[in-house]
Amino acid sequence: MAVHEPEMPRRRVRLSGLFARLIARPDVQKIASALPFGRGMARRDGAEIFEILQGFVASQVLGTLVETGILRGLLEGAQSAEALGFGHQVPVDRMEQLLKGGVALGLLKQRRDGRFALARKGAAILGVPGLEAMIAHNREFYADMADPIALMRGEDETRLQRFWPYVFGAGGEIDPEVADRYSTLMAESQVLVARDTLAMLPVKGDVTVMDVGGGSGVFLSEVLRRNRRARGILFDLPEVMPQARARVAEFGLDARVTLAGGSFREDALPEGADVISLIRVLYDHDDDTVTALLRAVYDALPPGGRLIVSEPMAGGARPERAGDLYFAFYTMAMGTGRARSPERIAEMCRAAGFEQLRIPRAPRPYITSALSAFKPSESDGLSS
């Protein structure tokens, strides 16, 4: 039996390759499309391939509706292509095409009088915190994706590298305006991340939570607003502390939060936390940085302390669109980091010394996935 086991994968590969070569032949496609069982398959394949092909155009129509303010402007009521074209200095026929594209995407609807109004999906975009800013921000990413081969070869500095300089440990070198720009985008995009994370991994009881790389404090504020017995430590670059101070004050959390400016690349993490959270942090960095950070988190936690990791994750053995497509190439364009599977992150946590890994089912993987782990307690060490 052991003699034949190596042959099985090769046989499967040969059969799979043969099937692919058959499907790729025009004459086979012609025959398949003429047969009842093959006709439906060919149509589905064709429609799905075209959906992939037109994806960039669809995203550009969405981006244009958001960036021009047309989508938000329609909250005030339906408007005609003539009025919108005049207001944006665009020929009426071209504005009408943009609006009809929005209808085709389910973002808008056209009334009997010819005017255009928000559809449910379009209105939903306006109701999701930070989504408009993220859609507009994708212009930077799309510019980097204009030449995917050059991006994969790492030939030039990318737009996203210039937008997110902190991932390279720029620290004090970051211009305050740049720090404010990325902190604002992070804050706007992390509201849903915070809510989904705490739905998967609630933080309860009389605990101190330290959010490392926590930006302006979106996640920490959400934790403290839900758990009035908790206290917080926010650790991030000194340049983002003004935004964090403002957010903490806005929610009346000043007395419960300690702000600690520093870089986890260069500075020791403050002690005193029972829970340490890494929210959209690990996927920004390479394996060496992540390994060092997880070890620093382990050292900063007391025995029995808890780690929470939340970020978009890859699918591992079963690639999926959010982690293995969008976020994989986004982090590639950033120039460092990668979307890792929950299993890979769990492996790195175990290597740092953590135990009791838990990976809850993510309700919206395109928003975030999560896992938790614990530092062994002293009793665990004695029993072992």
Per-residue pLDDT band for 240 (boundaries 50, 70, 90) equals confident
Helices 36-53 + 26-34 axis angle, to 10: 120
Residue 1: predicted pLDDT: 36
Residue 37: predicted pLDDT: 61
Residue 17: predicted pLDDT: 64
Instruction: For the beta carbon of residue 247, count every other beta carbon within 10 angstroms.
Output: 20
Whether 3 has a pLDDT exceeding 50, the answer reads: no
Whether 346 has a pLDDT exceeding 80, the answer reads: yes
Whether 349 has a pLDDT exceeding 60, the answer reads: yes
Whether 236 has a pLDDT exceeding 90, the answer reads: yes
Q: Is residue 30 part of a domain?
A: no
Which of 373 and 239 is assigned the larger pLDDT? 373
Per-residue pLDDT band for 269 (boundaries 50, 70, 90) equals very high
Per-residue pLDDT band for 14 (boundaries 50, 70, 90) equals low
Whether 158 contacts 335, CB under 8 Å: yes
Q: Is residue 133 part of a domain?
A: no
Same domain, 323 and 192: yes
Whether 246 has a pLDDT exceeding 60, the answer reads: yes
Q: Are strands 116-118 and 108-110 parallel, antiparallel or unpaired?
A: antiparallel
Instruction: For the beta carbon of residue 375, count every other beta carbon within 10 angstroms.
Output: 22
Whether 231 has a pLDDT exceeding 70, the answer reads: yes
Whether 4 has a pLDDT exceeding 60, the answer reads: no
Per-residue pLDDT band for 296 (boundaries 50, 70, 90) equals very high
Same domain, 234 and 335: yes
Same domain, 230 and 98: no
Tell me the residue type at 167.
Answer: V
Whether 284 has a pLDDT exceeding 80, the answer reads: yes
Tens-place pLDDT, residues 88-118 = 999 999 999 999 999 999 999 999 999 999 9
Same domain, 323 and 366: yes
Determine which of 73-87, 149-163, 362-376 has the lowest per-residue pLDDT on average: 149-163
Instruction: For the beta carbon of residue 177, count every other beta carbon within 10 angstroms.
Output: 8
Q: What is the DSSP string of 231-272?
A: EEEEEE-GGGHHHHHHHHHHTT-GGGEEEEE--TTTSPPPS-
Whether 358 has a pLDDT exceeding 60, the answer reads: yes
Whether 162 has a pLDDT exceeding 60, the answer reads: yes
Which of 186-190, 319-323, 346-350 has the highest mean predicted lDDT (pLDDT)?
Answer: 346-350
Same domain, 179 and 256: yes
Residue 93: predicted pLDDT: 97
Same domain, 228 and 375: yes
Per-residue pLDDT band for 12 (boundaries 50, 70, 90) equals low
Among 79, 94, 127, the domain-final residue is 127
Same domain, 98 and 180: no
Whether 6 has a pLDDT exceeding 60, the answer reads: no
Same domain, 303 and 171: yes
Same domain, 156 and 99: no
Q: Is residue 35 part of a domain?
A: no
Which of 374 and 157 is assigned the larger pLDDT? 374
Q: Is residue 62 part of a domain?
A: yes
Tens-place pLDDT, residues 164-209 = 765 555 444 555 555 555 556 666 678 889 999 999 999 999 999 9
**Rounded CA separation 243/44 (Å):** 49
Q: Is residue 4 part of a domain?
A: no
Helices 176-200 + 131-144 axis angle, to 10: 120
Q: Is residue 174 part of a domain?
A: yes
Quote the tokens at residue 148.
């995917």
Tens-place pLDDT, residues 110-150 = 999 999 999 999 999 998 878 888 898 899 899 999 999 99
Same domain, 241 and 369: yes
Same domain, 166 and 234: yes
Residues 6+ apart with CB under 8 A from 30: none
C-alpha atoms less than 13 angstroms from C-alpha of 289 in its C-beta half-sphere: 16
Among 127, 160, 183, the domain-final residue is 127
Question: From the centroid of its chain, how far is CA 111?
Answer: 35
Per-residue pLDDT band for 383 (boundaries 50, 70, 90) equals very low
Whether 354 contacts 307, CB under 8 Å: yes
Q: What is the pTM of this model?
A: 0.81
State the average pLDDT over residues 240-264. Answer: 91
**Rounded CA separation 83/328 (Å):** 41
Whether 57 has a pLDDT exceeding 50, the answer reads: yes
Among 127, 162, 179, the domain-final residue is 127
Number of domains in the chain: 2
Query: Which CATH number fits the domain that encloses residue 74?
Result: 1.10.10.10
Query: Which CATH number fits the domain that encloses residue 175?
Result: 3.40.50.150
Residues 6+ apart with CB under 8 A from 368: 192, 193, 196, 197, 280, 310, 311, 312, 362
Q: Is residue 214 part of a domain?
A: yes
State the average pLDDT over residues 246-265. Answer: 92
Q: Structural domain of residue 100, as residue ranges?
A: 55-127
Q: From 294, 306, 308, 275, select the one nearest 351 (Cα to Cα).
A: 294
Same domain, 196 and 283: yes
Q: Is residue 48 part of a domain?
A: no
